[in-house]
Every structure is written in C-alpha cells, then in structure tokens.
Amino acid sequence: MKFLKDQRGGVVLFIALLSVPFLMAVMVLTFDVGNVVVNKSEVKSKLALALRAAAGQYDEDLLSDPVNPRAVVDEARAEVKFHEYLKKNLNLDHSYNPLEGSFVAGRVEVVYFKVVSDGDLPFTYGYNGYSETVDRSGVVGIIRFPVKSSPFAAVAGQEEKSYMYVHSTVVTELINNI
C-alpha cells in the first residue's frame, strides 16, 4: 500500500507521456518538409534541363549569316523543345498528367514560358510576389505542380495535396572555337 501512496516521480511520468505526441508531431513535420524540399529541388532541376534544351534552339539562318552571325533563339522551336523535354524529364503524358513512375502527384501546369531576346532586355517577370530581372537573352519558365502530403499530415488536418511553383531561367551562350 505504501507504493500507491508514494507520488514521487509522477511529474516525470506525466511529462514523458505528453512528450510522445509532441515528438511524433515533430517527426511528421520533418518528414513533410523534407518531402517538399526534395520534390521542389527535383522538379526545378528537370525544369532547368527543359529550358536548357529550349535555349539551344537557335535560328539557323541568323547563326550562319556570313556577315553578321547572331545567336538568336527560334521561339517556335524553343517552345516545342521545352514542352517535349519537360514531359520527358518529369515522365508526363501529352496532357501533363504523370505516367507510372513519375514523382509528381498530379497534373503539371506550365504557368509561364518566354524566350527573352536582346530586344526585351532588361526583362522583368514575376509571380506570387516574386520577381526577377533577366539581363541576358535566354529562356524563362514557371510551372505549377501538386505535392502529395503524407498520411500523417492528413491526420493533422492538412489537405491531401498542396501545390508548388518553381521557376528557372537559362541564358543562351555560345562557345566560340578559336
């Protein structure tokens, strides 16, 4: 009976029991934030690769001009190449929905695509309160994609999917062989 009357250590037990849900919440938050960071980084990398492919679509006539050769991106070819590589890099079908094995959680939307030529400079674009000024010719792209939340986040009342935007700018460069 002395054991039941002894209340020493009750506070420690109480704190230990309260810390378990707190530690689980921190673990879930860490998992979800890590998932978002990895997805955003991966998608941004794939977007940059598609923009790089687009930036390489030079106007052949202007580039091969014997008097005044210029590296000018052919806008129509660049846009076709951008969409082709974006779908290939993110493993998307023709409607930008993910195919089996894609890591995006739903349809990808191309929010903005622009070939920036010398006549546009300096060129400023923006979205969602962010803006960037481009001072060299190149290609700019912004895409929107869904990120699936973890099952733990759903228990915490978060939506099953959230949407992220990523952007990238690729400038055109030619290396002269001398």
d(CA 77, CA 71): 14
Q: Which helix (H) or strand (E) holds 148?
A: strand 138-148
How sure is the predictor about 178, in pLDDT bands with cuts at 50, 70 and 90? very low
Let me know the angle formed at the C-alpha of 61 by 58 and 63, rounded to the nearest 5 degrees: 55
Round the average pLDDT of the chain to a whole number and report it.
86
**Is residue 3 assigned to a domain?**
no
**Is residue 178 assigned to a domain?**
no
Let me know the angle formed at the C-alpha of 141 by 137 and 146, rounded to the nearest 5 degrees: 170
**Is residue 27 assigned to a domain?**
yes
**Predicted local distance difference test score (pLDDT) of residue 177:** 46
Look at the chain and report how many structural domains it folds into: 1
Min mean pLDDT across 4-13, 106-115, 133-142 is at 4-13
> Which of 87, 71, 69 is CA-nearest to residue 79?
87
What is the domain range of residue 125?
9-171
How sure is the predictor about 47, in pLDDT bands with cuts at 50, 70 and 90? very high
**Is residue 4 assigned to a domain?**
no
**Is residue 83 assigned to a domain?**
yes
More confident residue, 164 or 34: 164
**Predicted local distance difference test score (pLDDT) of residue 98:** 96
**Is residue 124 assigned to a domain?**
yes
**Is residue 2 assigned to a domain?**
no
**Predicted local distance difference test score (pLDDT) of residue 111:** 96
Q: What is the mean pLDDT of residues 117-124?
A: 92
**Residue percentage of the chain with pLDDT more than 90:** 48
